[in-house]
Amino acid sequence: MAVTMEHLDLDLVNEKLLAQRTMISEVEDEELDLVEDQNIHSLRWTLTPQVNNLILSHWEFDNESQKQGFLQQDLTGLACLAFPFALGDRIELIARLFSIVYLLGELVADLDIEDAEECLDSLQEAVKGYWKPDPDQAPVWMLCDLFDEIRAHDYQVVDDIIAATWKYLDLRIVQRGRRTRRMDEVQSFKDSFLAAGLELPLHRFATGVMIDEEEFAFGSDRPSDDDFETSSLELKEVFAGLR
């Protein structure tokens, strides 16, 4: 049986994850507190190969460089770092959202402005159920399926997540135009993520708590046994250390 490139990539990812876990287990005692303070979701090591395998199995990358670029982003790790408090049945959906939204952003950023806007309009119509994507249209059906699963878990926040996703993709299209005209540098994923306002609806989804904007921005004085009072400032600090 032939070994596919997807399996080779996943093996490489798993090897790197194993190496990282080994390094953590071998740190000196004085460094142990630093490792624990990273405060990453406990499912991080399980979800990374799982989500990467899903993407690599269905998403059509133009070349090997694009595929490796996606893997190097470690978007599942980023999701687990940004939402270490997420409910166990929801962190996987957030990790998938990070991956799919990132890849869609790269896709529209590589298109001409008109083609990118047409692509976004088509995506929005598919998500609304106006047309059903074919099995070979992975970017479309993966996004539609993901939003359906998020809706099944929490119908109150899914529309806000969808709206913020469109804003993120709009930003990527605008940045594509600026890059073409050499007006300024294109924002990174983390910058566009924050600018699109994805952190608040995802915080609500991750915790199942409908925290309001003021509480989210400045924290809350109310006690919380599960420590769900992470603010947008803390999320910005998480992203600030990433490139």
**Confidence band, pLDDT 50/70/90 cuts, at residue 213:** confident
pLDDT of residue 92: 98
- Pick from 25-34, 88-97, 234-243 the range whose average pLDDT is largest: 88-97
Distances (CA, A) of 157 to 69, 96, 169: 31, 17, 19
CA-CA distance, 190 to 188, in Å (whole number)? 5
Total-model pTM: 0.76
- What is the arithmetic mean of pLDDT over 85-106? 96
pLDDT in tens, 138-178: 999 999 999 999 999 999 999 999 999 999 999 998 876 55
Q: Please state, in angstroms and rounded to a whole number, the distance separating the CA atoms of residues 182 and 237.
A: 29
State the average pLDDT for the chain.
Answer: 79
What's the CA gap between 169 and 187, in Å, rounded? 12
pLDDT at 9: 46
Residue bearing tokens 């699109």:
196
pLDDT band per the 50, 70, 90 thresholds, residue 39 = confident
Mean pLDDT value across residues 224-236: 48
| Structural domains in the chain plus CATH codes | 5-240 (1.10.600.10)
What's the burial of 211, exposed, middle or buried (CB within 10 Å: 0-12/13-18/19+)?
Answer: buried
Q: How far apart are CA 46 and CA 190, in angstroms?
A: 23
Q: Which residue, 71, 239, 103, 153, is CA-closest to 230?
A: 239
